[in-house]
């Protein structure tokens, strides 16, 4: 234990006379409903969970259930010894045990005793390891681990921060690259530290990362391995879009690369506003789009680093968090060098000879003199109506004074700075609830050789322009290239597999037909050739024939001899 177990009489009295809301643990009066959180005094937890005001370890008073999964139940609680709000996590694998109807004890279901004991050992080991790492500021702290009621309880820091999921929602769904890297940078060494201790999180997602009031990320939601993979003894909790592919198989090995995939997927979501496709589905149809294709403002190096970290194969994926951090940092350093070069150019501009300023002053004086002469003739005889000008091309036509009347600027209370939509997926922008509150979106589709299908390539309101709320913003959305280029099926001296090549064709919007051929010199599923030469353009309604290897395997020899 991290805190002494012996309690004096004063603590015992506090346990009996704790006058706090069981929903938020704030001090309350005798009202039936909490004025802070609205929790009603007589509200009960589910019958399989411990009741509010249950006392544990002669120290903790439990409140309402915050959340639960196939591994455990998480309660808000109050530590009377240190007078602080905490969380208490109770080990309660629902497929292996059940609560006794007449007590708080846990009864293991018949035949599940070995599994229950094995997993409870994993639970104890995990939280004891985390308790020794409580000096890490970017993870949820673990204060205490104790046994009671034929199960184990872990006391953790009470989380009052907002989830990254909510934080992104409040930020219109995504962050600028610079802001995202500053937010994520401190979490990388923290995750590396828990990896060195032998802990793999396996559940990193916008739901388990929280943003503090100091704009720092904090990792929560730790769990034993069996909760984070399919086909185990527990009801799994898999974060679709963020879980690595090896988590979909009970026999696959997990390692630091598993968390690399997840944190890269979270960064993908943070930069693009788009949740990555589920890893299991990518084996059938790998439709993961590079971040830069979704948001053109993302540097190519960052986009490539994320794609490498989200490789389906653990062997080809970025192996650890340190390497992933370095890949991102190299791009950041390169960007800083560019900024420094720009600053140097600006400095040189400032060092231009002072006679340039003198020449500028003379020019301005001459222009003022010309303007004075013009004004003299303008006001001498029969001047035109104020602020109306005569066209030099047609002296008989007059331009209305409305031309020079300035439009009123929108008020700051009812306006916003127009975001940059170019390079974004139209459907994501259209479905963004924050954008829907600001402006009405109008779509115009056109063929475009530079942007893939479904990507915005032009907007009629400039980015960062102060814009009135409710204004209609027209965007041009790419229908893809009108005559896309046929991609090459050769990568160096190697040939693409048919599945890889088909994915490229789908991305380009090219119709295709597959033709099986036998080939002794190539492997099965290698692309042999195409009906049109790679690099040529092809009409969208035309069909490309793709020839690939499908060698008929010889049947095994018959062992029966007559």
Q: In the predicted model, what is the mean pLDDT of residues 161-172?
A: 94
CB 207 within 8 A of CB 163: yes
Distance CA(517)–CA(276), nearest Å, equals 35
- We find that the CATH architecture of domain 162-337 is Orthogonal Bundle (1.10)
Higher pLDDT, 255 or 432: 255
Q: In the predicted model, what is the mean pLDDT of residues 456-464?
A: 90
Model confidence pLDDT, tens digit, residues 91-138: 999 999 999 999 999 999 999 999 999 999 999 999 999 999 988 999
Predicted local confidence at residue 390, as pLDDT: 28
> What's the distance, CA 441 to chain centroid?
24
The residue ranges of every structural domain in the chain are: 9-157, 162-337, 414-478, 490-549
How confident is the prediction for the chain on average, in pLDDT?
82
Distance CA(283)–CA(268), nearest Å, equals 19
Predicted local confidence at residue 191, as pLDDT: 96
Predicted local confidence at residue 442, as pLDDT: 93
Which positions ≥6 away from 284 have C-beta within 8 Å?
A: none
- Of 461, 457, 459, 462, the closest CA to residue 446 belongs to 457
Distance CA(5)–CA(2), nearest Å, equals 9
* CATH code, 9-157: 3.30.200.20
- What 3-state DSSP class applies to 561? coil
Predicted local confidence at residue 17, as pLDDT: 66
Q: What is the percentage of the chain residues whose pLDDT exceeds 70?
A: 79
- We find that the CATH architecture of domain 490-549 is 2-Layer Sandwich (3.30)
Higher pLDDT, 238 or 252: 238
Distance CA(533)–CA(516), nearest Å, equals 18
Lowest mean pLDDT among 251-260, 273-282, 355-364: 355-364
CA atoms within 13 A on the CB side of 523: 5
The CATH T-level fold of domain 414-478 is: Trypsin Inhibitor V; Chain A (3.30.10)
**DSSP label at residue 120:** H
> What's the distance, CA 311 to chain centroid?
17
DSSP symbols for 240-277: TTTS-GGGG-TTS---HHHHHHHHHHHHHHHHHS-PPP
- Of 464, 415, 455, 504, the closest CA to residue 272 belongs to 455
Beta bridge partners of 467: 416
pLDDT grade for 381, boundaries at 50, 70 and 90 = very low
Q: List the alpha helices (DSSP H) in 295-431.
A: 300-309, 321-350, 355-380, 426-431
9-157 and 162-337 in the same fold = no
Handedness of CA 252, 255, 259, 261 (dihedral sign): negative
- What 3-state DSSP class applies to 416? strand
- Whether 349 has a pLDDT exceeding 70, the answer reads no
Predicted local confidence at residue 262, as pLDDT: 98
pLDDT grade for 352, boundaries at 50, 70 and 90 = very low
Predicted local confidence at residue 507, as pLDDT: 66
């Amino acid at each position: 234990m991290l805190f002494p177990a012996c309690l004096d009489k004063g603590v015992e009295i506090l346990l009996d006379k704790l006058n706090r809301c069981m929903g938020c643990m704030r001090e309350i009066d005798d009202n039936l409903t909490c004025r802070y959180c609205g929790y009603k005094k007589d509200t009960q937890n589910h019958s399989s969970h411990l009741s509010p005001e249950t006392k544990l370890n002669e120290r903790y008073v439990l409140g309402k259930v915050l959340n639960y999964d196939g591994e455990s139940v998480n309660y808000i609680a109050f530590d009377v010894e240190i007078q602080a709000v905490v969380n208490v996590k109770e080990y309660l694998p629902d497929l292996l045990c059940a609560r006794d109807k007449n007590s708080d004890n846990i009864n293991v279901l018949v035949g599940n005793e070995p599994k229950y004991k094995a997993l409870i050992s994993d639970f104890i080991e995990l939280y004891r390891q985390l308790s020794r790492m409580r000096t890490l500021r970017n993870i949820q702290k673990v204060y205490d681990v104790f046994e009671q009621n034929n199960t184990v309880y872990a006391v953790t820091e009470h989380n009052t921060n907002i989830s990254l999921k909510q934080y992104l929602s409040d930020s219109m769904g995504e962050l600028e690259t610079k802001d995202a890297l500053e937010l994520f940078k401190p979490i990388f060494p923290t995750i590396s530290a828990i990896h060195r201790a032998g802990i793999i999180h396996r559940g990193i997602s916008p739901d388990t990362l929280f943003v503090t009031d100091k704009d720092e990320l904090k990792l929560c939601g730790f769990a034993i391995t069996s909760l984070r993979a399919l086909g185990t003894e527990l009801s799994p909790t898999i974060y679709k879009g963020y879980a690595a592919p090896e988590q979909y198989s009970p026999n696959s090995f997990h390692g630091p690369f598993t968390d690399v995939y997840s944190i890269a997927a979270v960064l993908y979501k943070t930069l693009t506003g788009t949740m990555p496709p589920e890893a299991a589905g990518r084996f059938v149809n790998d439709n993961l789009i590079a971040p830069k294709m979704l948001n053109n403002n993302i540097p190519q190096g960052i986009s490539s680093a994320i794609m490498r970290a989200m490789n389906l194969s653990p062997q080809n994926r970025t192996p650890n968090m340190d390497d992933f951090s370095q890949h991102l940092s190299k791009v950041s350093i390169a960007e800083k060098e560019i900024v420094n070069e720009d600053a140097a150019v600006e400095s040189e501009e400032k060092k231009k000879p002072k006679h340039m300023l003198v020449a500028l002053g003379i020019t301005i004086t001459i222009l003022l003199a010309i303007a004075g002469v013009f004004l003299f003739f303008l006001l001498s005889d029969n001047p035109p109506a104020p602020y109306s000008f005569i066209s030099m091309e047609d002296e008989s036509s007059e331009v209305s004074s409305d031309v020079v009347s300035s439009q009123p600027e929108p008020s700051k209370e009812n306006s916003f700075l127009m975001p940059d939509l170019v390079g974004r997926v139209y459907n994501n922008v259209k479905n963004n609830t924050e954008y829907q509150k600001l402006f009405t979106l109008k779509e115009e589709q056109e063929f475009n050789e530079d942007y893939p299908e479904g990507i915005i390539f032009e907007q009629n309101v400039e980015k960062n322009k102060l814009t009135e709320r409710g204004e209609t913003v027209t965007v041009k959305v790419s229908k893809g290239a009108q005559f896309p280029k046929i991609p090459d099926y050769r990568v160096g001296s190697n040939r693409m597999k048919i599945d890889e090549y088909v994915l490229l064709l789908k991305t380009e919007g090219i119709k295709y037909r597959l033709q099986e051929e036998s080939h002794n010199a190539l492997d099965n599923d290698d692309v042999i050739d195409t009906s049109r030469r790679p690099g040529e353009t092809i009409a969208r309604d035309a069909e490309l024939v793709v020839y690939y290897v499908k060698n008929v395997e010889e049947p095994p020899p018959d062992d029966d001899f007559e």
